[in-house]
Structure 1
């Protein structure tokens, strides 16, 4: 009888611990979801300005400074590595597809 009581108490304790753990995980998930939605809203509202033609040109008043891409130095830099870096830079700055270099042309 005593062993049965101890076993029942142990099972109840384990059940409570499992429920507490699930609740903590659910709260953490809700918190992360809220943070993600907030970041997405900030990105959509402040970084990109939707144009009527759907081009999604970068807003000039975004206020965010982006790192500058280093200039290619012939004889010193490997062209393949520099082009890969350029493609990543263009993609991370919201330039569209294969013609991303047009985003950096100054008029």
Structure 2
């Protein structure tokens, strides 16, 4: 059975998301994640449906659960943005600097080169 609901505590362990339960809950409210009250837990504990989480979080959860799912081609820009936002600030600056110096075509060439090395 595939897990579909994740607690704030579980999500706070994923790099690129806030590291506190309060931060996760705030991000969820701002981004409109689908939520429900956690059953069997006293208080205001909630959990979030996997389909409403950012793409990089879904990818992490799928990878962590040992499952595989195709990346939907309908939202490549959102995938790029989610991946970029999951980076630390210094990593984002490094990517921006590299792209400004070398351009997107050089990035494609670099990826092709890496793929041929891996093959």
Do both share a fold (TM > 0.5)?
no
Compare the two structures and name the one with the higher helix fraction.
1
TM-score normalised per structure 2 = 0.21
Rg (Cα) greater in structure = 1
Compare the two structures and name the one with the higher strand fraction.
2
TM-score normalised per structure 1 = 0.23
